[in-house]
């Protein structure tokens, strides 16, 4: 490959990351919950040496999000392992809706802001949060999510359901709903 072609590939790749920097940083932050790990995960995805190869550069553009996800998950691997153990130990099935969610008639009457949504997602413990992000937001297959999270498909299914319940509860709380009783839920980081 000529120097000119290498320079063009590097420039195109750099431009792709600049155009998607905000969404990649946001994704990495929601996965890790840590600003330093966020920057490191995205930076490592950008500086892969093989990006100079035109074939790999094209592939990398299509898989930029996957690289950021893999880097972000690696940054929090030990936290994920601990969260999986906590989740296995504490999970007792999906709790009754009347205990965990606002009544069906309750409505906030307003749209949720991006900041409220981020807070609602970040309030979920890291394992179910990552499952939620990978399965629902990134539309990753059950098998891919299980592999990336180093756990079984059944555990991913259970965590996905738990995270959806917790997200609904957190969004309602962000908009003013208060449960009749306050207690730590099975996949929440807050009471």
**pTM for the full model?**
0.73
The pair of three-digit structure tokens given for residue 114, joined into one six-digit string: 């991006």
Evaluate if residue 49 carries a pLDDT over 70: no
Residue 189 covered by a domain: no
- Same structural domain, 91 and 154: yes
Q: Are residues 39 and 87 in the same domain?
A: no
Residues 43 and 61 in one domain: yes
pLDDT tens-place string over residues 7-47: 665 666 666 666 777 888 888 899 999 988 888 888 777 65
Model confidence over 106-148: pLDDT tens digits?
Answer: 676 668 888 989 999 999 999 999 999 999 999 999 999 999 9
Same domain, 70 and 81: no
What's the domain range around 119? 77-174
DSSP single-letter state for residue 52: G
- What angle is formed at CA 108 by the lines to CA 174 and CA 123, rounded to 5 degrees? 20
């Amino acid at each position: 490959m000529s120097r000119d072609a290498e320079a063009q590939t590097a420039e195109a790749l750099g431009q792709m990351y600049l155009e998607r920097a905000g969404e990649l940083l946001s994704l990495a932050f929601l996965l890790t919950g840590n600003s330093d790990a966020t920057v490191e995960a995205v930076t490592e995805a950008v500086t892969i040496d093989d990006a100079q190869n035109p074939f790999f550069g094209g592939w990398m553009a299509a898989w930029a999000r996957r690289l950021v996800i893999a880097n972000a998950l690696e940054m929090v691997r030990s936290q994920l392992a601990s969260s999986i153990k906590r989740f296995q130990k504490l999970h007792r099935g999906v709790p009754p809706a009347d205990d965990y969610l606002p009544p069906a008639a309750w409505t906030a009457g307003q749209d949720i802001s991006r900041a409220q949504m981020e807070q609602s997602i970040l309030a979920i413990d890291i394992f179910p949060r990552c499952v939620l992000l990978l399965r629902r937001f990134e539309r990753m297959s059950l098998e891919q999510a299980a592999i990336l999270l180093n756990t079984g498909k059944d555990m991913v299914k259970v965590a996905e359901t738990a995270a959806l319940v917790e997200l609904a509860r957190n969004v309602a709380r962000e908009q003013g709903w208060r449960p009749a009783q306050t207690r730590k839920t099975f996949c929440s980081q807050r009471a």
